[in-house]
A and B are shown apart, each in its own frame.
Chain A
Amino acid sequence: MRRLGQVLLIILISFSHVISGEKDRSDIPDEQRPVEERERGDSVPETLGKVPGALVSFPLKLLFTGARKTARVLDDNGVVLRVTDWLTSADGKRKVRPIFTPLSGGGLAFKQNDLLKPGLRLRASASIGVRTRRDFFIGLRDEALFHPRLGFEASAFHTRKPDEDFFGIGNNSSEANETNYLHRENNVRLGVVSRIGRRSLFSMLATYSDVRIGEGRDRDKPSLDSLFTSQTVPGFFGADVFSTGASFYRDTKDTNGHPTRGGEEFIAFEVGYERGGSEFGYHKATADFSRYFNLFYKRVLALRVRAEVTNSIGDRRIPFFRMSELGGQELLRGYRPVRFRDRDMALAGAEYRWQVQHFAIAYLFVEEGRVFSDLIDEFSLKGFRYSYGGGLRLIGKDRNLITIIEWAKSREQLRFIFRLNVGVKKL
């Protein structure tokens, strides 16, 4: 009651001069008096009313006074322009951007188009994170090196993920079996690419991967070998894998950032063998389709289905790090990364997107997915896991994605995800 009284009192104070001014309408209101007859600026109650706001905002203003002065110095000396000019070419062919994902950490991404010759594209990124997490990538592509429709692609990739989670294999792998391991991979890829029309790309690539599995750096979780063995988890120590494959990608989206129509289709087939051994051999087929429907002015329904089928070759086994995965940033977002693994997987998702500002896209999504030991023979709608959530995507002037701020919920957890300038490894 006392607080209510105080609030009423404050309101009364603020209105008091208005009320009192209306008692005798024959008087010219105080604020209409000639300016030199008045005190400088506001009347006393008006000035006092500003005190609470000023008190609260004072520390903020003090904090940002430094930022303001710094901004002025930077602006006056053209520092931002100079750095931007150094990192980004005026024609947009060269660009450096900061990147961040929870999995890879933070770093920089660099792109250079028309390197040495028109059509030759260079992409590179480097990021580091906690517990010696690191991620380096460099790639070159020229889609018309040999012929207007035939080019090449080459890339190298190094990653060190010191605290990957592993829960076992299968759709029913339990959270209680959570273990931790180190994944280190060096990967070299070379192949030919062929542009079919303006929107489609066919590629044939050969990849050599050197994967090493070790003890995880997250001391709070048991290590992989405390619960699993090389018998239950193929590829327990890692492997050198040589694979070849072909893929077809078609992009009919009308724009990046916030597509409103069209879609993306990706089909790939890969065959992999262990180099210098006969334990591992597999082939994997992947199909991923997404489609965008403009419901009404830039309110978009995005649908996606993805399926992967991995089979062993002869009596060889499939290393666990080449199996299908669910969970994480792209697949079943409400679950932690690679929460489920098995030979095959299926995923379907729907996302409703709407533009809240010209640079901000809000979205809500729901996804269903599960892993299978054999998708074809054992397919059932039972056992599918779902996740749902929403977020905000911020897009840049070039319509590319800058930032994703997302929350995703599953039966196991609520995840908050922040990513900055994702998708830089796309050649």
Chain B
Amino acid sequence: MHKVLRFFLFCVVAASLSGCSGAKKLTLAPIKTFDPDNGNIPAPDDKEENQIWDIMDMTFFYQVEKVLDLNWSARKVGKGLGLARGKPADNVNALDEVPNSSWYTNRHYHDRMSRAELRRGPNTSPGPDQSGAWTITAGKFEGGTTGFTIKDGRGDRYLLKFDPPGFQEMGSSAEVISTKILHACGYFVPQNSVVYFDPELLQIGETAKVAEGGFKRKMTPADLEALLEPIPRRADGKMRTMASKFVNGKPVGVWNYIGMRSDDPNDLVYHQHRRELRGLRTISSWLSDEDRRAANTLAVYTTDPETGHKYIQHYLIDMGSTLGSNNIIPHAPKYGNEYLIDPRTVGLQFLTLGFWVKPWEFETGHLNPEFSSVGYYESRIFDPDDWYPTYPNPAFEYATLRDVFWGAKIVMAFSDEDIRSIVAEAQLTDPRAEAYLIKTLIERRDKIGRYWFSKMNPLDKFDFARQGTILKLTFRDLAVDSDLEKEEGVRYIHTTSYRAGGVHRQSVSGKPEVVISENGTGFLDDLIAARGSKKERDKIFSTSIQVERPGRALSKKVDVFFYYPGFSGEPRVVGVVREE
């Protein structure tokens, strides 16, 4: 047995050493902004996920497997001892950002979207065409809300979802607001809109069915009448619904937050190690999107209009259980604060005989919410670091500080006005409810920014700028930009050095910039002249920056690597490394 163990350890050591030696030098190649994962692939199988199994798998089996994973456990122990960090995300570029792919597109944070774009979100139309009849083609058999599928006069198919009795506007508002926010964050989402329609438009199609006692049977006018009966009408007779347009392409099931899809050759990164899925944790915590699980995803076999390639695009769907809504009832305080079955809280409560009180135990706002159209969405006890989805999500569990910081940057990109614009799309009839929702979104956003920006160096968007004869490395202080910190008294301490280390110069500035050269005279110019090297790679330098705010400890470092060919050349940032 010992021999087997030794052989196994030998293999691990050998493999790990070979893996360690593979660190690449800095490249001068352009920063990668696109992951070419849209190569032409054969039609994949439809992949179904059993929801009950997923809960069991993630809650029990995955947890056991995770602890037995030496890397996970060793990193956990090492992290506790301050010796190691969590496994970094696998698909970030040299700037620690996510390239565009079939999973994600950089949007609002990198190129600010206009208010109109934010309001529009992914929509190409305001909803189903109301100039003609809507034919009901199928009932809705999954999820808690009532609804059905229709085909409008243009031939577009929509899933209509109605708000639960007693909580009018709650689910539809949550779905539309969160969809637009997630779209602006960069994810692929369906076109969801709040629509008021005349029920007379509805016609029962030949294929429309309803579920009764586990059986499906043809939908009758009585079924439709019973379904619509509890839904209130406006004075003009119209009803409110949430219309979700079917996405282009062929749905091929769900995608998981762990592993890779075996029938997708483009799928090269373990999903739990994708930055955009790990960082989604921060965005989900903002939106109280505890239902972010495999069942609420959609893989679509789609065609690239430019190349004609057929590939899988990855969607987030079903945002009806976000903000204050838990589908048909308001969110319970438990959600977001602990898993459905949470060994951590159960164990603590068990061992302390109940004397350890969960901070959310006294919350009763969900029982009789102040605004039935909002449900239970609060910012008082919300803790960005202690937020949990309904059951374990591997990508969220693997998220490192850099991942959640990436998510926080995106969350903080939404200004108060941006939020107001998006919330207006929900068409809430009670202005007080709308104001409450906006206020809570802003408060939770600020909590996220304050917390995660204090855990990492909040400097970003590094670039070069010329001002007369001065060449500067500029950057943004995200904490100041989002009004979480004051500009006065801030000092940026930077140490610029040749990339091989050794020679360096420290300076301090009160503005988010580092002077690199003044008319060709400067520390780096002298270094280049002294070295006399012709190699382009030898013209890579680094600046390590820390932030000092009045009354605060010095922040962690962010190292910016840049290519500086001399004052007359075109300098550019080639890498960013953040200290965790």
Contact = CB atoms under 8 A, between A and B. Distances in A.
Contacts of B50: 68, 71-72, 75
A42 B88 contact: no
Contacts of A34: 32, 35, 93-94, 99
A298 B354 CA distance: 9
A36 interface: yes
Interface in B77-119: 77-78, 83-85, 87-94, 96, 99
Q: Interface size class for chain A? A: 35 or more
A370 B208 CA distance: 68
Contacts of A54: 65, 68
B308 interface: no
A352 B15 CA distance: 55
B269 A41 contact: yes
A357 B342 contact: yes
Contact of B19 (A24, A44, A362): A44
Given A17-B20, A29-B88, A57-B61, 13 more contacts: A6-B5, A13-B13, A17-B16, A28-B24, A43-B22, A49-B72, A49-B74, A50-B70, A68-B50, A78-B211, A297-B362, A356-B354, A357-B346
A20 interface: yes
A45 B9 contact: no
Interface of A: 6, 9-11, 13-18, 20-21, 24-38, 40-46, 48-50, 52-54, 56-57, 60-61, 64, 67-68, 71-72, 75, 77-86, 296-299, 352, 354-358, 360, 362, 364
A296 B362 CA distance: 10
A20 to B, nearest CB: 4
Contact of A26 (B13, B66, B214, B561): B561
Contacts of B15: 44-45, 48
Nearest to A28: B575
Contacts of B92: 31-32
B577 A28 contact: yes
The 5 A-B pairs of least Cβ separation, nearest first, read: A354-B354, A53-B68, A81-B214, A78-B214, A82-B214
Contacts of A43: 19, 22
Given A54-B65, A75-B52, A81-B213, A30 B16 contact: no
B207 interface: no
B73 to A, nearest CB: 8
A50 B67 CA distance: 10
8 contacts: A35-B269, A37-B24, A41-B260, A53-B67, A64-B61, A68-B50, A71-B50, A357-B345
Contact of A25 (B68, B213, B577): B577
Interface in B1-40: 5, 9, 11-13, 15-27, 32, 35-37
A11 B268 contact: no
Interface SS majority for chain A: helix
A25 B349 contact: no
A41 B16 contact: no
A14 B16 CA distance: 8
Given A9-B9, A297-B361, A356 B24 contact: no
A362 B269 CA distance: 43
A41 B66 contact: no
A80 B561 contact: no
Contacts of B354: 299, 354-356, 362
Nearest to B338: A357
A354 B346 CA distance: 11
B70 to A, nearest CB: 4
A32 B96 contact: yes
Interface in B338-356: 341-342, 345-346, 349-350, 353-355
B74 A15 contact: yes
Contact of A32 (B13, B214, B270, B575): B575
B270 A41 contact: yes
Nearest to A13: B16
B559 interface: yes
A68 B96 CA distance: 39
B2 to A, nearest CB: 8
Nearest to A37: B24
B75 interface: yes
A77 B559 CA distance: 57
B84 A15 contact: yes
A42 B64 contact: no
A360 B69 contact: no
Given A30-B22, A32-B92, A356 B346 contact: yes
- Quick one: which of B9, B24, B67 has the most chain A CB within 10 A? B24
B334 A45 contact: no
A226 B83 CA distance: 72
Nearest to A20: B20
B69 A72 contact: no
A115 B88 CA distance: 63
Nearest to A17: B20
Contacts of B87: 31, 46
